[in-house]
């Protein structure tokens, strides 16, 4: 993809040019995350994580109050308790960072937007149809994902597609159109194929190979690849040993033109994306004096 085929986009109050990529650092307000095992469950640890990733150059933090995998039932009230005041404090301390909240619930979304959230990251493909109305009412961005109809917080079982990329395109574009129809600014809509969600490893690999088809729609594409099961199964590596595979998948998606990268490792992902973006001719080298000085 050349710059001519990439568009500016908006994440809440923050605008990004056609040459921009965004690091979206994960901050889990949960005691049972598959990756960090509750390392940022304590509020103080979560704030330390925010400060660290901002120092590392993350333009965006993605705050979540419920892990995606099956687990204990978390009420709306409990999810709010985990994220609303935290978002408010992050907004106050980091006025220039993009704040995303990983939720599928409109009631939670309304509360976090009221205290400064910029993006609603709906990992469950519009399970709550009122989420788009909340995004429109607060003039925030929304991430439209594909989950293949899998129920919220369940794992896919023997799911099949005639063409997984066609299914991803159909569902994410329909979600994007619904968001715009509800009043969301078209520049504030992002699509996400949602690797692993409603997909087996072969599906996620196919989506990665053909990510350019999503980029070609003109909507900015978000990818959430970090330490995912499709990486672990491909390389037979456990959680915590998947960085190399994650960065390899990141390189493929960067070459295709993905714009937003939801990550655990900010520095490594930023360098990977910048290197690929530069090879693709979308970004100049930070310096280029070899053979010239």
DSSP 74-92: --HHHHHHHHHHHHHHHHH
The rounded distance, in Å, linking the Cα atoms of 273 and 255 is 8
The rounded distance, in Å, linking the Cα atoms of 226 and 195 is 10
Q: Please, which pLDDT band fits residue 169 given cuts at 50, 70 and 90?
A: very high
Quick one: pLDDT at residue 3? Answer: 53
Q: Would you list the domain boundaries of the chain?
A: 3-279
Helix (H) or strand (E) holding 113: helix 106-114
The rounded distance, in Å, linking the Cα atoms of 165 and 156 is 16
Checking if the pLDDT of 98 tops 60, the result is yes
Alpha-carbon dihedral sign for residues 240, 244, 247, 248: negative
Q: Please, which pLDDT band fits residue 104 given cuts at 50, 70 and 90?
A: very high
Largest CA distance in the chain: 62
The rounded distance, in Å, linking the Cα atoms of 124 and 180 is 18
Q: Please, which pLDDT band fits residue 279 given cuts at 50, 70 and 90?
A: very high
Mean pLDDT of 240-269: 98
- Give the CATH class of 3-279: alpha beta
Mean pLDDT over the full length of the chain: 96
Alpha-carbon dihedral sign for residues 210, 214, 220, 223: negative
Alpha-carbon dihedral sign for residues 228, 234, 238, 242: negative
Mean pLDDT of 254-267: 98
Q: Please, which pLDDT band fits residue 36 given cuts at 50, 70 and 90?
A: confident
For residue 190, the cross-strand partners are: 143
């Amino acid at each position: 993809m050349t710059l001519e085929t990439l568009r500016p986009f908006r994440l809440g109050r923050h605008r990004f040019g056609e040459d921009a990529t965004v690091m979206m650092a994960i901050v889990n307000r949960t005691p049972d995350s598959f990756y960090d095992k509750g390392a940022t469950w304590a509020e103080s640890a979560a704030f330390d994580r925010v400060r660290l990733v901002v120092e590392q150059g993350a333009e965006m933090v993605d705050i979540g109050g419920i892990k995606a995998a099956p687990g204990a039932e978390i009420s709306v009230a409990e999810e709010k308790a985990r994220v609303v005041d935290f978002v408010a404090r992050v907004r106050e301390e980091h006025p220039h960072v993009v704040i995303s909240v990983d939720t599928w619930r409109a009631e939670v979304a309304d509360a976090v937007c009221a205290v400064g959230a910029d993006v609603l990251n709906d990992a469950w493909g519009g399970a709550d149809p009122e989420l788009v109305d909340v995004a429109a009412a607060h003039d925030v961005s929304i991430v439209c994902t594909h989950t293949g109809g899998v129920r919220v917080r369940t794992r896919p079982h023997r799911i099949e597609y005639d063409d997984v990329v066609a299914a991803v395109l159909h569902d994410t574009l329909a979600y994007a159109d619904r968001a715009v129809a509800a009043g969301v600014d078209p520049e504030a809509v992002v699509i996400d194929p949602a690797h692993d969600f409603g997909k087996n490893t072969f599906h996620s690999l196919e989506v990665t190979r053909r990510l350019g088809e999503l980029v070609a729609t003109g909507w900015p594409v978000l990818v959430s690849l970090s330490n995912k099961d499709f990486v672990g199964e491909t390389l037979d590596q456990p959680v915590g040993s998947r960085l190399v595979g994650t960065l390899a998948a990141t390189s493929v998606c960067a070459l295709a033109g993905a714009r937003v990268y939801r990550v655990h490792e900010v520095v490594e992902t930023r360098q990977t994306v910048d290197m690929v973006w530069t090879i693709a001719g979308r970004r100049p080298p930070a310096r280029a004096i070899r053979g010239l000085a």
